[in-house]
Amino acid sequence: MQFFIDTANLAEIQEANDLGVLDGVTTNPSLMAKEGISGHENILKHYRAICEIVDGPISAEVIATDFNGIVREGEELAEIHPNIVVKVPMVKDGIKAIRYFSEKGIRTNCTLIFSAGQALLAAKAGASYVSPFIGRLDDISVDGLELIRQIRLIFDNYGYKTEILAASVRHPMHIIKCAELGSDVMTGPLSAITALLKHPLTDIGLEKFLADYKKVNS
């Protein structure tokens, strides 16, 4: 399973990249706003900076929700760097734009997926990725991981090449379960990725190894 980091924070992106396990980055307008990135030119500059850190797919989201606007913005974003993936919302004109981009060879990530039907539609339109938001479903007492299972089954039934990008990942168990269910990618915060490192028995074991070494080597 590929690991993407879901942030626009350059220091966190650098830290995850330095770990050597990062495959890509996803951003969204809220994450850009959180970093105080505003204004057209600054936004493009920030995407360039992310592309300089990570050599992998970087999702950059359009703001427009009408076909012409999505196409205009998406083409400009795609011009930034070959690694840019245009993130398009799951709306009617978004699906039309995904078909358009797919025919032009521009990769897309269909975002705000909350049902298997939405994922199927995006795959049929030629999306490179679909982003089911599992954490936000869990927040309203709907099993987000069940959606990953359904989409995996449907895509495998018909051999869709669209990759499942489990999004809105909140904690390490989400990552492990996504891997068990065969999600192609997961995108989550740095905290969820680094939490995978942790086990109390590892800490206790290491402490003992180092103490035993010290006993006979000091």
Residue 115: CB minimum distance to ligand E4P, A: 16
Binding marks (x or -) toward ligand E4P, 161..190, rule CB under 6 A?
A: ------xx------------------x---
Which range of residues in 94-102, 130-138, 152-160, 209-217 is near ligand E4P by CB under 6 A?
130-138
SS3 for the chain, per residue? CEEEEECCCHHHHHHHHHHCCCCEEECCHHHHHHCCCCCHHHHHHHHHHHHHHCCCCEEEECCCCCHHHHHHHHHHHHHHCCCEEEEEECCHHHHHHHHHHHHHCCCEEEEEECCHHHHHHHHHHCCCEEEEEHHHHHHCCCCHHHHHHHHHHHHHHHCCCCEEEEECCCCHHHHHHHHHHCCCEEEECHHHHHHCCCCHHHHHHHHHHHHHHHHHCC
99 binds ligand E4P (CB under 6 A): no
Residue 59: CB minimum distance to ligand E4P, A: 6
Nearer to ligand E4P (CB atom), residue 29 or residue 69: 29
Q: Give yes or no: 96 in active site.
A: no
Residue 41: CB minimum distance to ligand E4P, A: 22
Q: Which residues are identified as catalytic?
A: 87
Interface with ligand E4P by CB under 6 A: which residues?
6, 26, 28, 111, 131, 133, 135-136, 167-168, 187
